Amino acid sequence: MKSKISTPKKIKAKNHSLKFKVKDMDIATGGTLVVILNAKDAHLLDLHSGDRILVKTNKKEQVCILDISESKKAVPEGKIGLFEEVLDRLDIKNNQIVKIKFTGKPESVKHIRSKLYGKRLSYTELLHVIDDITHDRLTDIEKTYFVAAGFIEGWNNEEVVDMTRAMVKTGYKLKFPGVTLDKHCIGGVPGNRTTMVVIPIIAAAGFTIPKTSSRAITSPAGTADTMECLARVELPEGKIKNIVKKAKACIVHGGSMNLAPADDKIIEVEHPLSIDAEGQLLASVMAKKFSVSANHVLIDIPMGKQVKVKNWKQAKHLKKMFKLIGRKLGMNVKVMITDGTQPIGNGIGPFLEAMDVMQVLKNDILAPQDLKHKSLMLAATLLEMTGKYRKGKGLKVAREILESGKAHKKMNEIIAMQGKQKKVNIGSYQHIVKSTTIGRVKEIDNEVIAKIARMAGAPQDKGSGLYINKKVHHPIKKGEVLYTIYAENEFKLGLAKEFAKKNNGYIIK
């Protein structure tokens, strides 16, 4: 006869270890390690929602966050509900036996509370917090308070540097021989796919530039989404090292590399709150660059009404901070303040942006010249940062590499080594948005353009987005095409079309 797991008959001390039978909840949290006890069991054990308990098997153990079930059907007495992440970490299946023990809240919760009261956090305290975020030991509420505390109280220079170091320490670090270059744009401008032009130029010049890029969160495409139209971007560490060794470069999704993983988890909290604390922005960017051992880093700060940095005062302050933190971390950092008042390139959306990139690399007559010009400026600056080229010479070298076809050849090499993707097709459902007046384009609203592209299906539907025909200062007649919306299904096209009727994102005077 099988032994029955029974609930305790009286309140047990929290330091006792007790056995429960596993119930597979068949639910994933997306990261946080959650377990569930029936309310009666939790009451008898004097446990509460949000408490931490250690769950142990014969071979493994994991600290988890406790939730309480009032329903016997969800989790009966004597059982413990485990979410998918916990099952995977413990390598355990339904109906197996585990032991549980109360462990108390992580020390990092005290540090978060201290920050809420305005205290400066030390490196050790920040490391505790970042490590617990990395390993999913904090609840969403605790992570939110950490982000909110930094937003309200701010982070001083030492805290930003310490947070950057903590993010690097709790993740993986890639090391490449010799001089390593990197670039980053703080975002906000639709299109602006300069990275995919700059990387092959720099690599063709003989410099190492391993680019780990992000996917879109609120934009119609991230560099990883766009590159994925051409090549695989989710690659193991060994493969990436081999590609960089041979091709001098890669363009991959950083999320798969475990580089400063706390950063991505913090961004998940910031996104629904629509906040982006300066200190966390700085630490986020610099941690990713420090993780790939970059010696020379170029930061692109677009400035404009609908981007993160709206005026020269903000731009100059952020520039100063990036350079300061770079110095403290031993990196040569240069910052370029660029035009963020309108989209860069013609395509908005993964496939359309990939088309822009390849047209520039092929020196196609139809290639967007604003994307080409900005990419050359960035590549020139990076080349001069190495010390190999004097000021003014970098642009000549970058242009020669691009217009000779060397950069296109290098990009094809990178694509082949990462693994060429099957061809992506442009969305077959289309709608043309035309001007209803005559005049000159005075302004383009980046946020509206991005929203229309996302409503059309970008970035999930790679063939969806916008193709822009008119830019700021362009003369325009009534009935001329402003842009074309592309979608992969009729429903999403209808959503984008209806929104564009109310606001097409253009001011014409």
Angle between helices 157-169 and 123-134 (to 10 degrees): 40
Segment 38-44 mean pLDDT = 93
Degrees, nearest 5: CA angle 173-164-298: 80
Instruction: Report pLDDT for 105.
Output: 85
Distance CA 34, CA 18 (A): 18
Distance CA 430, CA 108 (A): 51
Strand partners, 485: 431, 466
Residue 354 has pLDDT above 90, yes or no: yes
Residue 10 has pLDDT above 90, yes or no: no
pLDDT digits (tens, 9 = 90+) for 183-195: 999 988 999 999 9
Report the topology of domain 18-102.
Barwin-like endoglucanases (2.40.40)
Q: What is the mean pLDDT of the chain?
A: 92
Angle between helices 446-455 and 490-502 (to 10 degrees): 160
276 carries an active-site annotation: yes
At residue 14 the predicted structure's pLDDT band, cuts being 50, 70 and 90, is: low
Instruction: Report pLDDT for 76.
Output: 94
Residue 306 has pLDDT above 80, yes or no: yes
Query: Is 100 within 8 Å of 56 (Cβ atoms)?
Result: yes
Segment 480-494 mean pLDDT = 97
Max Cα–Cα distance, the chain, nearest Å: 87
Tell me which of 24, 276, 370, 445 is the catalytic residue.
276
Query: Is 357 within 8 Å of 226 (Cβ atoms)?
Result: yes
Instruction: Report pLDDT for 1.
Output: 45
At residue 13 the predicted structure's pLDDT band, cuts being 50, 70 and 90, is: very low
The CATH number of 181-254+285-418 is 3.40.1030.10
- Kindly tell me the sign of the dihedral angle through the C-alpha atoms of 187, 192, 196, 199: negative
Domain segments of the chain: what residues?
18-102, 108-154, 181-254+285-418, 429-508
Nearest to 486 by CA among 509, 444, 454, 508: 454
**Which tokens sit at 419?**
């693994």
Degrees, nearest 5: CA angle 155-158-160: 50
Distance CA 305, CA 289 (A): 27
Segment 446-459 mean pLDDT = 97
Overall CATH class of domain 429-508: alpha beta
